[in-house]
Each structure stands twice: as C-alpha cells, then as structure tokens.
Amino acid sequence: MVASSKDDREEVLQAWYMDDSDEDQRLPHHRDPKEFVSLDQLADLGVLSWRLDADNYETDEELKKIREARGYSYMDFCEVCPEKLPNYEVKIKNFFEEHLHTDEEIRYCVAGSGYFDVRDRNEKWIRVWVKKGGMIVLPAGIYHRFTLDTSNYIKALRLFVGEPVWTPYNRPHDDLPARKEYIETFVNKEASNNAVGAAA
C-alpha cells in the first residue's frame, strides 16, 4: 500500500527523541546529540505514514486507495494559524495537553507543518515532524499531543471512519478499552517478542 520508498517519506516526515527542556513547545527540542527515530520504529508503535502528492489531493489515486482500504469515508480541512484561530496562544497550549482518542487520529498535511508527539513504550516522547505531503495515522489509544512549529501554520486534511468523533481524553485514561487494546497490541506484544528473541 505504501508506494513511495522510505527515503521518499523522510523528506516530509521526520521523527526524533525529544529533550526535557521547558522552552517553547514550537522549537524542535532535539536531544544533544540528535537521536532520530525511523519510520519503521514508528510503525512498531502503530504510527503509520505515507508521502502523498499534496498539490493534487483531490484527484490523487493513492489517497483514494488508502481511504478505501482503511474505510476513511469522512474528510475535512483544518487550518491553524494565529490569523485564523482566536486565542491562538491558549489554543495551541490546549492541543499540547497529552491525550488519547478512542479512534485513530488521521492527518494529512497539505500545507505548512507541525509536530505530533507520541509516547514510545518507555514513556519517552518522540516528536514527529509532518510537512506538506506527509500523512500520519496515530492509532486509537496512543498518548500523544500536537503543536505548531515556529512557522505557525498548518493546513491539514482530517480523515475518519464514519461520523467523526474528536474527543480528547486527557491523560490518565488508562481504563478505556481503546487504551487497553493499544497496550495489548503494541506494547505487550513487542515485550513478548523481545523475550522470545532473548530466549532463542
């Protein structure tokens, strides 16, 4: 399903472990030295990614195929910048609250850029930089947050299976079935794979 090569994707999707500083959330927050995370590592956490033709999303066959395969019947635009969002500084702090959803969060960046931060299995923050042409799926139940970067502009397509539900459940919400399923599928499974690997 992923037609473009991995290198191709990395031009519009990059991920790295974050530092612990309290500086502006819109800064890159690289560690020193930088610690990049591959898109395969993200996939192991359930985070899927594609590179698509953002100038032709209306007629893009590849997007159409992804939507059909994954049942993404709903689609709308979300544009975030200081000029279009009243109380911008307050709102972007709200987006940055750690939360989860009971469904996938699917975003396709068609202009601008932004950071989607996700927790790895050891609770470390991985920052995923999504630029024009990058599309990501955050699985249901993964703790995450969003921020604009210093360009202060993103235009994204939001996709969904059926009628959209955008409800964020701020951390902690560990008893939700979606959270338990996420742990079962992407955290425990990996731990048992590693145990098997170590025993072999």
Query: Is 97:145 a contact under the CB 8 Å cutoff?
Result: yes
Contact 136, 98 (CB under 8 A): no
Q: How far is the CB of 194 from Fe ion (least distance, A)?
A: 28
Q: Is 101 annotated as a binding residue?
A: yes
Phi-psi label, residue 180: left if phi above 0, alpha if psi -120 to 50, beta otherwise? alpha
The answer to whether 125 touches 25, Cβ cutoff 8 Å, is no
Using CB under 5 A, which of the segments 69-77, 99-107, 118-126, 172-180 binds Fe ion? Answer: 99-107
Please state the closest distance from residue 127 (CB atom) to Fe ion, in A: 15
Interface with Fe ion, residue 104, by CB under 5 A: no
Residue number of the CB closest to Fe ion reads 105
Per CB under 5 A, the list member of 62, 104, 105, 117 interacting with Fe ion is 105
Size of the site for Fe ion (CB under 5 A): 1
Q: Do the annotations mark residue 144 as ligand-binding? A: yes
What lies within 8 Å, CB to CB, of 40 at 6+ separation is 6
Q: Is 173 annotated as a binding residue?
A: no
Identify the residue whose tokens are 């145990």. Answer: 195
Footprint on this chain of Fe ion (rule: CB under 5 A): 105
Query: What residues are designated binding site?
Result: 99, 101, 105, 144
